[in-house]
Amino acid sequence: MEKSNTEFNADELQPPTWLNKVFIEGILSTYENAPDLKVTDLQITPATAQGDHYASIMFRTKVDYSTKKGTFSKSLIIKTMPEEDGHKKDMLSGSHLFATEIGMYCKVLPEFERILQEAGDNTKLFVPCLYHSLKPRQVMIFEDLVPQGYTVIRDGPPTVEDLKLAFYKLAKWHAVSMKFINEQPDFLKEFKYGLFEMPTIHTDPFITNGMTTFIEMLDQVPELRKYKQHFEKIKDSYMQRLKVEMHEYHKYRRNDRQYVLCHGDFHLRNMLFRNNKKKPGTYDDLMLVDFQFCNLCPITVDLTYSIYMLMESEQRCEMGKELINYYFSVLLSTLKNIRYKGELPTEIGLWEQIRRNKYFDFFLISTLLPMMMGIKSNTALMHEVIQNTEARKKTYYQENYLKDVTKLLDNFEKLGYFEDL
């Protein structure tokens, strides 16, 4: 379905001038080893709707071309950085996003798949990258998965079975990363730049004001006011505590905890689901995309993030119990299948580690969850919510957000999250 111009920022709507026939011709002729290749037609459209991606812009190019072998057509996805959006450019300036993603596509994920294949597991973890560059501009090009039947879920919430597809892939990925951490740790050592290494993460008002606004909301809602004291206690220190959690693998590693190469942005818009031809209306595969925040960290990071940013309210208010336990069953079976030599994790140990890393919960519930729920109800709000303080404050009083917060804070209290703050 075509998107209206109002659903995109200028960067997302208007392709850069360098994205033209000459550029695509050079890429395809090299990739297909066909010096005679000529592009005969090129159509460029936005590849994502507003709210799908924040740290990059993407275009879909439909290319008609000819070689000595005949005439062909191919759909490509072009991923690059914004040229016009000043706020986004400032936010991303000096980041390692593209270098991280190139490393994932061209080094890590092919090797992860090889390990799985050696164990008789043909799970696909990524779509091949046709081209990448960091200079003179940051660009990545992939074959488009849409013609292969993959789609982003937009027309309603994902089912539990849909979400299990996501956790199945994540568990496979995490398991292989644990094998590398145990046997070849240097292979992954460069992946240390996650969300909390973004240049402006500790100065952007969107991040720094989240807890203050959350505490103001707790004070305004009578049934939640009792929790205010706990967050008042940590408001000046919780980001530093969270930084310790996030940097645990590189600086504070402990033998009694599990670490993985995480995805770092494990939410629905970073997942493409393949339509099941045998059972219309369902999906039979999923492909994770957008690997710009991949980094070595506690096994809990993707899981906790998913509770707030991926799951629906029903699963979230149960702290993701069913889905995370399913993830663990796939993780454990995969570790055994690929002959992991380290000590196998336990389900009890995983949940203990999730509870210990509670400062990520505090960040997500106070800062990202209200934004996510606000955008989910009205995707046009995305940039207004991120850049406008008053618009952002309104998201803290949404009925659905308050309902979830009430249940989640009750869970925190029962799990002992407010002890020893």
Amino acid at 187: F
Q: What is the pLDDT of residue 308?
A: 97
Whole-model pTM?
0.91
Pairing of strands 259-262, 295-298: antiparallel
Name the least confident of 64-68, 184-188, 229-233, 254-258. 254-258
Q: What is the pLDDT of residue 3?
A: 33
Neighbours of 205 (CB within 10 A): 12
One DSSP character per residue, 3-30 reads PPGGGS-HHHHS--TT-SHHHHHHHHHH
**Reduced to 3 states, what is the DSSP secondary structure of residue 214?**
helix
220-233 residues labelled b (16+ CB within 10 A) or e (exposed): eeeebeebbebbee
CA distances 161 to 116, 210, 240, 284, 307, Å, are 23, 33, 37, 10, 16
Share of the chain above pLDDT 70, in %: 90
Q: Place 55 in a pLDDT band, splitting at 50, 70 and 90.
A: low
Mean pLDDT for 74-85 is 83
- 147-415 domain in CATH 3.90.1200? yes
Domains of the chain, by residue range, sit at: 5-92, 147-415
One DSSP character per residue, 272-290 reads EEEE-TTSTTSEEEEEE--
Q: What is the pLDDT of residue 226?
A: 98
Per the structure block, which two tokens stand in for 325?
A: 């336990």
Name the least confident of 43-57, 226-240, 385-399. 43-57
Q: What is the pLDDT of residue 51?
A: 47
CA distances 230 to 105, 123, 344, Å, are 42, 44, 35
Amino acid at 165: L
Q: Place 196 in a pLDDT band, splitting at 50, 70 and 90.
A: confident
Q: Distance between CA atoms of 381 and 375, rounded to whole angstroms?
A: 6
Furthest CA-CA distance within the chain:
74
Q: Place 147 in a pLDDT band, splitting at 50, 70 and 90.
A: very high
Q: Distance between CA atoms of 146 and 75, rounded to whole angstroms?
A: 9
Beta-bridge partners for 286: 273
User: Bigger pLDDT: 294 or 128?
Assistant: 294
Nearest to 266 by CA among 240, 246, 292, 243: 292
